[in-house]
Amino acid sequence: MKVVFMGTPDFAVPALKALCESDHEVCAVFTQPDKPKGRGYKLMPPPVKELAQSYGIPVFQPESLKRDPAAAVEILSEFCPDVIVVAAYGKILPKEVLELPRYGCVNIHGSLLPKYRGAAPIQRAVLNGDKTAGVTTMQMAEGLDTGDILLVSETEIGQDETSAELFDRLSQLGAQLMLETLEKIDSITPVPQNESESCYAAMLSKDMCPIDFNKSAFEVHKHICGLSDWPCATTKLGGKLLKVYKSHIENMDKVLGQPGTIIDEKSFTVACKTGSVSFKVVQAEGSKRMNTADYLRGKPVTKGEILG
């Protein structure tokens, strides 16, 4: 099958790699324009572009497809794709593009649709304390993640699993599900999404970072897990910012002291409204990320100290 691939970030890389190593022909890749990064604001290519170039695949980086759909259709028509595979492309596809290939446009979405449509489905699943997550392949329509469902792959979310860790797992699941979808595409019966079950996964922001210890240990823990690696949960220790990337629930429901109080200095365990959490991976202001044990060897904390 001739495939045009559209994707941009790390999440899309396993799917493109799987397609390149399959019997399908990836004839072109569309990805977002290079963006300035780092202190020198040097233009850096998206991960998908780097992989595509390593396979010698033509790469296109239009600012927008919707602004000039005729130009996009002209380019795509030269390749005569049987299907367009989309994974976290980050651009809206106009109707003219959606209808161009014989099998339309098939999207890999990081949730169990219709739950968590939108920009941050994986993070929202962790933040909300869901027990399961997954990936869905769908036939793309003009709405936001509203297309008919093709195939679904579900997985449990680990108790201490972070969004970053789940992100990596789901990207691999998505790659395999896409291959299965293309293999069975003639026999799959698309299933319309139940609109009454839909919910939107809004983008994350840095305003969400501060940890509120006046919540339960479960809520605090899932807040930390859900915001790792970005924008990252934070608190204040000695008036300085402390990022917390990983944690563990030490006690679920007992009242163990004033919320935000360090109740065990050896394990960096902090009291919440109910229960307690221990910090497992942290980053002090002006320092690098490290395991808490390493952090405490250089910067011991004091029992009874209050964070925030």
Per-residue pLDDT tens digits for 46-58? 999 999 999 999 9
Is the pLDDT score of 121 beyond 80? yes
Is the pLDDT score of 40 beyond 80? no
CATH number at residue 15: 3.40.50.170
Q: What is the pLDDT of residue 39?
A: 74
Boundary (domain end) residue, out of 182, 201, 220: 201
**Overall average pLDDT of the 96-106 stretch:** 96
* Together in a domain, 91 and 211: no
* Together in a domain, 196 and 158: yes
Report pLDDT digits (tens) over 197-207: 999 999 999 99
Report pLDDT digits (tens) over 252-292: 999 999 999 999 999 999 999 999 999 999 999 999 999 99
**Overall average pLDDT of the 214-222 stretch:** 98
Q: What is the pLDDT of residue 276?
A: 98
In a domain, 23, yes or no: yes
* Together in a domain, 35 and 179: yes
* Together in a domain, 46 and 85: yes
pLDDT above 70 covers a percentage of the chain that reads 100
Boundary (domain end) residue, out of 201, 233, 263: 201
In a domain, 119, yes or no: yes
Report pLDDT digits (tens) over 145-180: 999 999 999 999 999 999 999 999 999 999 999 999
The residue segments making up the domain with residue 41 are 2-201
Q: Report residue 143's pLDDT band, with 50, 70 and 90 as the boundaries.
A: confident
In a domain, 131, yes or no: yes
* Strands 59-60 and 25-30, bridge-based pairing: parallel
* Together in a domain, 173 and 45: yes
Rounded Cα gap, residues 167 and 37, in angstroms: 22
Instruction: Name the residue among 97, 161, 103, 170 with its Cα closest to residue 136.
Output: 170
| pTM summary value | 0.93
Q: In total, how many domains does the chain have?
A: 2
Sign of the dihedral through C-alpha 148, 26, 135, 281 = negative
* Together in a domain, 287 and 196: no
Q: What is the pLDDT of residue 146?
A: 92
**33, containing H or E segment:** none
* Together in a domain, 128 and 212: no
In a domain, 303, yes or no: no
In a domain, 264, yes or no: yes
Q: What is the pLDDT of residue 148?
A: 97
Q: What is the pLDDT of residue 277?
A: 98
**Overall average pLDDT of the 79-83 stretch:** 97
* Together in a domain, 214 and 196: no
* Together in a domain, 11 and 150: yes
* Together in a domain, 249 and 172: no
Q: What is the pLDDT of residue 245?
A: 98
**Overall average pLDDT of the 108-133 stretch:** 97
**Overall average pLDDT of the 82-96 stretch:** 95
**Overall average pLDDT of the 90-102 stretch:** 94
Q: What is the pLDDT of residue 37?
A: 82
Instruction: Name the residue among 184, 203, 191, 110 with its Cα closest to residue 149.
Output: 191
Is the pLDDT score of 38 beyond 80? no
Start-to-end C-alpha separation, the chain: 56
Where are the alpha helices (H) located in the chain, listed in sequence order?
13-20, 47-54, 69-79, 95-98, 121-127, 163-184, 217-226, 292-298
pLDDT above 90 covers a percentage of the chain that reads 92
Copy the structure tokens of residue 140. 């793309």
How high is the mean pLDDT of the chain? 96
Boundary (domain end) residue, out of 151, 174, 201: 201
In a domain, 308, yes or no: no
